[in-house]
Amino acid sequence: MLKLDGETDSYRAIHGDADFMPGIVADKFADVLSVEITNLAAWQRLPKWLPLLHECFDTKRVIVSVDNDLARIEGIPRFGGVESDKVRSVKIREHGIRYEVDFSAGHKTGFFCDQRDNRKKFGALAEGRTVLDLCSYTGGFAISAALAGATEVTGVDLDETAIEMAKRNANLNNTRVKFTHADAFTWARTMIENGRTWDLVIADPPKFIHGREDETGIAKYADLNKLALQLVAPEGLYVTCSCSGQLGAGEFERIVISSAHRRDKRLQTFDRTGAGPDHPTLSNYPESRYLKVLWSRVI
């Protein structure tokens, strides 16, 4: 129905509870199926499911990951079950862009397929603009902007391994991006002191909120947006994201708006998006709408 194979060879195959299969998340990366198991029931059934999944998604190899804390809570054995194939990395395509997915160092299942459509949309805004990608991970937004004709692109991330992967991805696509290994908060404060601004800024941080009353996570979102907004040039564009399922869309927008108003700025919001359609949301499971993306012009 989604016809994703025409634009990519990588997408979410099973989206856990929202696909009525709690305990398993699976992403297709070319011929590799990357599976994340979070409960005992899914772990027990994976040997029977795997041949069917390979047949459905035209994959041949599998990577299986189980969080150690969840394994202890769920009673998942350390040995037995489906073992991962010996595959370190694979190259994928997305909207004509090439990426390398490193399973030995990647977050979650190895790559964030949920931002696929947002990366394309972001690139469409970048032509002729200077671009800043805060919390750039492996460079998806930055590379999309560079290929779309941005005049200058900077990516910043605290994860040194991710920065090295981002540089390799930029080389794969023959693009020039300045990637910097640094803490986004500290780096942003330095740039503000130096008076630096960019025409198009995106802040796509990791999950900050890990519980329903995580005040520290909420404060981090407020702080990051307060800093990032000061790096947007007058009448520039600002894109901000949250992947915390415990943070509702309305509350996230209130945090962003408050951060802007406290700096005497106004947001002219022109779009609100989320994860791609291969990440469906379930009507009685609001946390499945975990990714929120706010697109605004800063006045």
Residue with tokens 């032509």: 127
Pairing of strands 89-94, 97-102: antiparallel
Instruction: Give CA separation, 72 vs 23, 42, 66, 67, 107, in Å.
Output: 14, 15, 10, 9, 20
Which residues have a Cβ under 8 Å from the Cβ of 81 and sit 6 or more positions away? 43, 44, 46, 47, 64
Which residues have a Cβ under 8 Å from the Cβ of 55 and sit 6 or more positions away? none
For residues 192-228, one letter each, b for 16 or more C-beta atoms within 10 angstroms of the residue's C-beta and e for the rest, the string is eeeeebbbbbbbbbeebbeeeeeeebbebbbbbbbbb
The yes-or-no answer on residue 243 being catalytic is yes
From 113, 135, 241, 243, the catalytic residue:
243
Separation between Cα atoms, residue 239 and residue 204, nearest integer Å = 8
Torsion of Cα atoms, 5 then 125 then 273 then 102, to 10°: 50
Identity at 165, one-letter amino acid code: M
Tokens at 174, concatenated: 């023959």
- Active-site residue numbers? 243
